[in-house]
Amino acid sequence: MQTQEELAQKLEQELQQFTGTEKYYKHLLGFHFTDGVKFLADEAQAYWVIDAIGSYQRKLQNHDFQLWLLVVGNHHEFIKPKPGKDAVLTCWEDTPNVGVKPLVRQDIVFTDFPLKTIKLYLENKILLLPSEH
């Protein structure tokens, strides 16, 4: 059985292979996601991340580009979950900067998500990995 760290290393390496997509998958909330995002959700058992992002799309419907960051633990310079929470999911209009408030912030009570951070883009109603952009 793989440790969490081994799973994270393997997943990071495998995600690098996605540089485009052959198929788009439709989410019930009206947007699509790519092969790379589907692979991430399958391998990390993280369809909840896609669902969480989808749950904010009505609020963010006027934002054609969204940068989503999931940070697990205190592994980011300034994006950190609140005390007693495992992770935080944030959405930004552009690259996150100190002093700039995200469009969305959702603290996650518990997660076993294997990566310390993951960045996803939602552009023109398509959720994708940065390498697929």
- Copy the structure tokens of residue 127: 């959720």
75 Cβ contact list (under 8 Å, min separation 6)? 116, 117
**What are the structural domain ranges in the chain?**
4-128
Q: How much is the pTM?
A: 0.94
Per-residue pLDDT tens digits of the chain, which is 133 residues long? 778 889 899 999 999 999 999 999 999 999 999 999 999 999 999 999 999 999 999 999 999 999 999 999 998 999 999 999 999 999 999 999 889 999 999 999 999 999 999 999 999 999 999 999 9
**Cβ–Cβ < 8 Å for 127, 34:** yes
Decide which of 3.40.50, 2.60.40, 3.10.450, 3.30.1450 is the CATH code for 4-128.
3.10.450
